[in-house]
Structure 1
Amino acid sequence: MNRATKIVAAVLVALSLGLAVLAIVLGRQSSPPEVVVAAPVADPAPSYPVVVADAELPVGQPIEARQLKVVNLSIFPPGTNGDIDAFVGKKPVRAIPVGRPIYESDLGAASPLSFAMTDGERAIALTVEEIGGGSGTSSGGPNRISAGDFVDVFFSLKDQSNVGRSQVRLLLSRVRVLVYGSGVTDNLAVAQSGPVTRPAVLVVPLPDVPRLLLATQHGRVVLALRAPGDDAVADVNLFHQPGPALAPRPGLNDAQRASLREPSNQAYAGMSLGGLVNLTEESVPASPSPVPVPPAVSPASPTPRQAPRAAPTRQVEIIRGTQTEVVPF
């Protein structure tokens, strides 16, 4: 091979190497850059503060703050709350176990009328007749009893067999009216004549509840409206007090006998109809009856024994609306 051929071959080899290097460089420049795809980041799950029971919550006991705690839940249960103060002092109507969310329905909905009473009082609904409320006018209309007024409760009982045993007396003094009548009964009362009968809700001390219920069931109860500033009440300590329907158990100690005077125990002991009307042979003497004269007999004949007289039957006339019933007692 001559020298010229060698030079040409060397040039071609160098040219091919240069082209190869150029191809590699161009190939790197034309390829798209590698894209690094980041893994998606999950959004944090939402959480909601909810008040749950940290201790067993019994029925009817006020809830204390130490019995509650706040936890975060992934869902918000309807009817719950995240504020502990919203439940402090409330009384559950059902037992709430530990760890369970507290719902508004667990606390119940107290009647607005219950907040108008104090401890030891009861609201009694009954149908009564009013006196002193159907006469006169006030603001162009009848002057009737309304909620918030104070009334005297009178009780009448008619003895059909002995008029002398019939009685009308004051049953309860200065009783507060919580609810009285309705729109329908008020309209009817304007048109009717005679005694006006209306539904009423009275606030009565617990020991007087049996007395009032007996009077409404076996006699006639009438309400008499009082003046707002009249605070006079009957002194029951000046009169004989009827005994309970349930006698105390024998063998009670001093503490137990003292607890018999508690209002709840007095109401549980109750009152009988005889105790309410207080009709005894000693308090109301019976009508005099002629003394039978035995027939004249000879000394030899034995004196016949007179058959004992049957005790007089006591009867009470019970008036319920327009119906009258006579029952013995």
Structure 2
Amino acid sequence: MAADTGATPAKAPQAQTFPIVVAARPLPAGQAIPADALRIEQLPINPTGAFRETAPLAGRVPVIDLGEGSPLLEGQLVSGLALRVAEGERAVAVKADEVMGVGNKVQPGDFVDVFLMLKSDGKDIDRSQARLLLSRKRVLAFGNASVDGLPSKAEKSGNQQAQQRAEATRTAVLAVPVDDVNRLTLAESSGRLVLALRNPADMSEPNPKLFAELPTALQPAPAKPGDPRRPPLEGLDRAQAGVTTADFVTGGKPGAVRPPIAVAQRAPSAGSGSGNRGGLQVEVIRGDRSETIRY
């Protein structure tokens, strides 16, 4: 019997695969990813930034639309400072310098009180005011450093002091409730802000019930007959209603600020015996003072 001389065919090498998290259904940009919208598949590729487990991805937000079966990558998801802003808050940048920032001792993660200084002109210096504007607000970023963990340019350079001298701090980013953003922006444009550093264990805050609420710039639409009583505006609704500079400065006191009023009067003629030239005289009223200008 002839011997079997046929060679046994070699097995084809099995392609290497990797467990990769993919979308189990389309994931729209800007919406949190549900836990049941993910699955793990064995793929022949292992892209940079891919995930091997679904748990860390639940609740993350994609920045682009992802189709079913698309691998999820770190670069496709929202990251950075936006993730450190709580619901109902907004990250707002204000101008900063060494004095405003407690001698540049403020650091990301600190809590500060925001004070406002409103200085009138030389004639109205008695009406200058300073007051607490916002209490116990979290600092998200100060200069180049931020709470999102990204190193500042100074840290990258290896010479922090030299870098700080070369690039002075110009902004501080605060986490502010959305209905307080209007007051903060008006305050920065109308006066000077000062940050007061506080111990994070100090939870004390002023009682808002002791002060009257500022009137809004936009008035709510009148309620229709029979409609239930509307609750006070708050959150985004109050933010959209806004506040005027006059109400912000005076606390909404009726008649506290009177805009300049020019009252034109015809000056007596030369023949009237007054001795004044004919012409126009204008009385300018500013608050409780008036001044007559003759033309």
TM-score over 0.5 (shorter chain): yes
User: Which residue number in structure 1 is paired with residue 22 of structure 2?
Assistant: 52
Q: 1:72 offset after TM fit, Å?
A: 2.7
User: Which residue number in structure 1 is paired with residue 209 of structure 2?
Assistant: 237
- Please give the alpha-carbon distance, in whole angstroms, between the structure 1 residues aligned to 2:235 and 2:25: 33
Considering only aligned residues, what root-mean-square deviation do their CA atoms show, in Å? 4.2
**Partner secondary structure for residue 60 of structure 1:** coil
Whichever structure has more helix as a proportion of its residues is 1
User: Which residue number in structure 1 is paired with residue 113 of structure 2?
Assistant: 151
Q: 1:163 offset after TM fit, Å?
A: 4.5
User: Which residue number in structure 2 is paired with residue 172 of structure 1?
Assistant: 134
- Please give the alpha-carbon distance, in whole angstroms, between the structure 2 residues aligned to 1:81 and 1:37: 44
1:15-37 CA-to-partner distances (Å, cap 9, x unmatched) read: xxxxxxxxxxxxx9xxx966224
TM-score (norm 1): 0.59
The answer to whether the 8 Å contact 1:121/1:203 transfers is: yes
Match for 2:256 among 283, 287, 298?
Answer: 283
Match for 2:246 among 264, 270, 274?
Answer: 274
- Please give the alpha-carbon distance, in whole angstroms, between the structure 2 residues aligned to 1:179 and 1:47: 42
Q: 1:274 offset after TM fit, Å?
A: 1.9
The answer to whether the 8 Å contact 1:155/1:170 transfers is: no
- Please give the alpha-carbon distance, in whole angstroms, between the structure 2 residues aligned to 1:58 and 1:209: 29
- Please give the alpha-carbon distance, in whole angstroms, between the structure 1 residues aligned to 2:258 and 2:244: 21
User: Which residue number in structure 1 is paired with residue 91 of structure 2?
Assistant: 123
**Partner AA of 2:80 in structure 1:** A
TM-score (norm 2): 0.65
1:228-270 CA-to-partner distances (Å, cap 9, x unmatched) read: 6655433333333322233323447548x43x63312222222
Q: 1:221 offset after TM fit, Å?
A: 1.7
- Please give the alpha-carbon distance, in whole angstroms, between the structure 2 residues aligned to 1:50 and 1:131: 49
Alignment of 1:32-181 (within 5 A): 35-111=5-81, 114-115=83-84, 117-128=85-96, 130=99, 133=102, 144-147=105-108, 148-159=110-121, 162-163=124-125, 165-180=127-142
User: Which residue number in structure 1 is paired with residue 186 of structure 2?
Assistant: 214
- Please give the alpha-carbon distance, in whole angstroms, between the structure 2 residues aligned to 1:230 and 1:59: 39
The answer to whether the 8 Å contact 1:60/1:91 transfers is: yes
The answer to whether the 8 Å contact 1:151/1:176 transfers is: no
Q: 1:88 offset after TM fit, Å?
A: 2.5
Q: Once the two structures are aligned, what percentage of the paired residues are identical? A: 33
User: Which residue number in structure 2 is paired with residue 14 of structure 1?
Assistant: none
Q: 1:210 offset after TM fit, Å?
A: 1.0
Task: Provide structure 2 residue ranges, at least 5 long, that are not aligned to the other structure.
Answer: 145-160, 260-264, 269-279, 288-295
The answer to whether the 8 Å contact 1:56/1:97 transfers is: yes
**Partner secondary structure for residue 312 of structure 1:** strand
User: Which residue number in structure 1 is paired with residue 172 of structure 2?
Assistant: 200
The answer to whether the 8 Å contact 2:137/2:175 transfers is: yes
Task: Provide structure 1 residue ranges, at least 5 long, that are not aligned to the other structure.
Answer: 1-27, 135-142, 189-195, 287-291, 296-306, 315-329
Q: 1:187 offset after TM fit, Å?
A: 5.0
1:172-217 CA-to-partner distances (Å, cap 9, x unmatched) read: 23334444457579759xxxxxxx9963233322211110111111
Q: 1:313 offset after TM fit, Å?
A: 5.5
- Please give the alpha-carbon distance, in whole angstroms, between the structure 2 residues aligned to 1:132 and 1:109: 27
